Every structure is written in structure tokens, then in C-alpha cells.
Amino acid sequence: MTKFQTFMEKYFMPVAGKLAEQRHLKAIRDGIIAVMPLLIIGSIFLIISSPPIKSWAEFMSQYAPTLSIPVNATFGLLGLVAVFSIAYSLAKSYEIDGLSAGVLALSAFFVATPLTEDGNIPLNLMGSEGLFIAIVLAIFTVEVFRFFNRRKLVIRMPDTVPPSVWRAFTALIPGAVIITIVFGVDVLLTHWWDLSLHDIVATVLRQPLEMLGASFWGAMVAIILIHLLWAFGIHGISVVASVMAPIWYSLTEQNVAAHQAGEELPHIIGQPFMAIWWAVGGSGMVLALTLLFFLFSKSRHLKNVGRGSIGASIFNISEPTIFGAPVVMNPILMVPFILAPLTVGIITYVSMAIGLVGKPYVIVPWTTPAPFSGLLTTGEFSGLVLMIINIIVAMVIYYPFFKMYDRQLLKEETADATDNIKEEGKSE
């Protein structure tokens, strides 16, 4: 264990730490998070139009086309909103004008988007299909904008001019260059190969990454990485999601579209699977461990941690337990902390793959308590049952390690109490 810990601290942790603080990845993560309210609102209307109760679903079917309007207006704008929010976040990290960068990135996104034969904007490219080119164009826009600002290749206005006016003129020259480059590349691609920038990015980035992100092995590797990072004190989901979140959201939007069309859902892996199903109580299926502390611990420390953390854990906030027990840098609890979510992830994936439980397609707030989150994300009561089973499985995995750690702490507390009594006796 000592050799493994030394290896992790020497080679793995520095890379993970730098990755977590990488400017562009943080901007992508923050930009995607900005889309979350829209997706949750859309999911609410999706649940209303397709509730898990059969009789209610039959009654609501007549209103489904109308209720699909807010769903399309939220999920269907994933790429459009992301290009602005990612550019805004990245620009703010450079301390340049985020609003101008966001507007320019949005304009570049529309320039790169091919119109339909009728001359209309294709709505499918505004959603998940346009998410990856949104990321590329947001980063490109901000870097060009920053290049011109650093070299002062912008129009300068007198100090007496209001900020809103001089900001607009500051963005004029870099904006013209950005739009010209994107337009020129798009024209050349269309003229020579009958392709668009969307096609190129989809071929080079979106399709390979979605194949990786949608796979069972891709999900299992992500789960292991998240919990390895957490075990050494780094917020694992923040690091991994900064890379994978666009893929997971894109896969979920495809499930939403399939559900609305009455088709079989194409993906098991997506944002609900990766944010909800193996993270009951937070990363590590920590609700199971917190329940063991709360119900069965004999040591005073773990009993207090259980009492203090149970409320937060019910709403999937794991930090009080992870740092209170602690799980971080704890060789006893690190093993089940990784093993429990991995096992639950496998059970969940297999259950969905063989049709025992429906594939998840609804995005709910990550604070939604279990097992209701299982019901809401799948739209089936079998999802609720499976989540209860998962919690029990996680408790079984944690139990022998919990007992070992509880006995160790109890022994230490008893020894400390004996020493205190002896000290008091000597003082008397």
C-alpha cells in the first residue's frame, strides 16, 4: 500500500492536479454546467409528458406534442447555449471581456452551421450534434480575441466613452478576423469537398469520443479514475467530467430525442448514469457507508460522523463523510470506496442492457434523493427498486471494511480514555 501511495503521489497526482486546473477544461466544465438549469427544466416537462404511471401516461399522450415544445427548447439548444457560456467562462479566466467573446463565438457558430435546403437553421445542429463544434469554436474565438487584446491590435476609445461602447469597438477587429476565418474555412470545405465544419468536427471528434464515452469499458474506467482521485483528496468528478461531460450530455440528448420519437433508447451511458446511478450519497456510494456509521458504529468518532453526515448524504453531498471519516488517504476505506461504485455500475449497466430496467433519459438535479432519482431518470418503478438494491449491495461491500475500521477506532478511543483516567488519578 505504501509503494502504491508513493507511486500515486509522485506520478498520478501531479498530472491530475494540473488537469483539474487546466484553463480550457475548466471553461468547458463551467460552460456545460451553465446549461444544466435548461436541461433540468426540460426534463421536468419530459416527466410530465411521459410519467412512470401507465394510466397517467395514456392520459398525457394527447398533450405530448405540446409538452415537447419546452423539451425541444431546452435540450435542443445544448450546443447553442454552450458555445456562448464556454467562451464567456474562458474569456473571464483570461480577464478579458466575456460578453464580447460569447457573442463572437455565437456568431461564429452560426456562420459554421449549414442551412437547410429551404434556407432555415437546422435545429438538430443546435443541440447535442453541435456541442463539439461549439467547444472548438468557443476556444478558437477566445484565443484569437486574446491574441489581439494582448498585442493591442484593437480600436482604443477615450476614457470618457462609456464602457459598454468601448467594449463593442474593442471586439470589432478581432471579431472581423474570427468571422472571416470561420467563413473562409467553411466556404473552402463546401466548395472542395461538399462538407461543413460540423461534418469535420463530427468525424474527427464527436463520433470517436461518443463511441468511447458510450461504452461499458469507458464508463468503468471513468468510475475508477474518479474514485482514485477522490481517495487521494482531489475532487474526482470535477477532473473527469471536465473532459467527459460534453460526451455524456450529448448521449443523453440523443436518448431524449429517441424517447420523444417513440424509438428504443440508444444509450445506457449518459449524464444520468454517470451522475446519479453509482453516486448515491455522492461519489463512492457514500450513503451506504454513512448509514453504516449512523446505524452500527460503536466508535464515538464514526457515530458522530454518521449523525452529522446523514442529512447531507441523503442529498448526495459526500464531502462530510469522505473528509470526516476520513476516506481520503485511508487504506482501509479506500478499497470499498472504489469497489462499491464499480460493482453498482456493473449491476446497473447489466440490468439496463438486458431490459430489467429502462435506460435513463431524464436529467434530474444531482441532489435528488435516492431511490426517487432511480424512478425519475428511467421513468420506471423498476429503477427505484434497482437503486434500493444497489444501496444494499454497497452496504454489504463496505461492511467488513467498516467493521475493521470501527474496531480500530474503538480500540484507540478506549486506550485514550484509559490513559486519561490514569492521568487524572496521578493528578489527584
pLDDT in tens, 216-226: 999 999 999 89
- pLDDT over 60 (residue 23): yes
Mean pLDDT of 263-270: 93
Closest by CA position to 346, among listed 239, 217, 229 = 217
Domain extent, residue 161, equals 74-213
Q: Are residues 125 and 247 in the same domain?
A: no
Q: Are residues 188 and 279 in the same domain?
A: no
**pLDDT at residue 50 in the model:** 75
**Residue type at 13 in one-letter notation:** M
Q: Are residues 203 and 303 in the same domain?
A: no
Q: Are residues 200 and 239 in the same domain?
A: no
Pick from 213, 246, 263: which residue ends a domain?
213
Burial class, 247, CB count within 10 angstroms (exposed 0-12 / middle 13-18 / buried 19+) = buried
Does some domain include residue 67?
no
Q: Are residues 153 and 277 in the same domain?
A: no
Does some domain include residue 243?
yes
* Domain count of the fold of the chain: 2
Which of 11-15, 166-170, 237-241, 314-318 has maximum average pLDDT? 314-318
User: Taking the CB of residue 15, how many other CB atoms lie within 10 A of it?
Assistant: 10
- Residues 122 and 344: their CA atoms lie apart, in Å, by 40
Does some domain include residue 263?
yes
Helix 236-260 × helix 216-231 angle, to 10°:
150
Q: Are residues 259 and 152 in the same domain?
A: no
- pLDDT over 70 (residue 398): yes
Pick from 161, 179, 213: which residue ends a domain?
213
Residue owning grid cell 471581456 = 97
- Residues 212 and 68: their CA atoms lie apart, in Å, by 30
Percent of the chain with pLDDT over 70: 90
Q: Are residues 99 and 207 in the same domain?
A: yes
Q: Are residues 285 and 335 in the same domain?
A: yes
Does some domain include residue 58?
no
Pick from 178, 213, 248: which residue ends a domain?
213
Task: Looking at 115-171, list the stretches that DSSP marks H as alpha helix, in order from N- to C-terminal side.
Answer: 131-150, 163-170
Does some domain include residue 125?
yes
Task: Name the more confident of 51 and 266.
Answer: 266
Q: Are residues 129 and 240 in the same domain?
A: no
Whole-number average pLDDT of the chain = 86
Q: Are residues 263 and 198 in the same domain?
A: no
**pLDDT at residue 11 in the model:** 60
Residue 328 Ramachandran class (φ > 0 left, ψ -120 to 50 alpha, else beta): beta
Does some domain include residue 228?
no
Q: Is the dihedral of CA 224, 227, 232, 233 positive or negative?
A: positive
Q: Are residues 145 and 267 in the same domain?
A: no
Mean pLDDT of 272-300: 93
Taking each continuous run of H as one helix and of E as one strand, the counts in the chain are 21, 0
Q: Are residues 137 and 279 in the same domain?
A: no
**pLDDT at residue 406 in the model:** 92
Does some domain include residue 271?
yes
Does some domain include residue 155?
yes
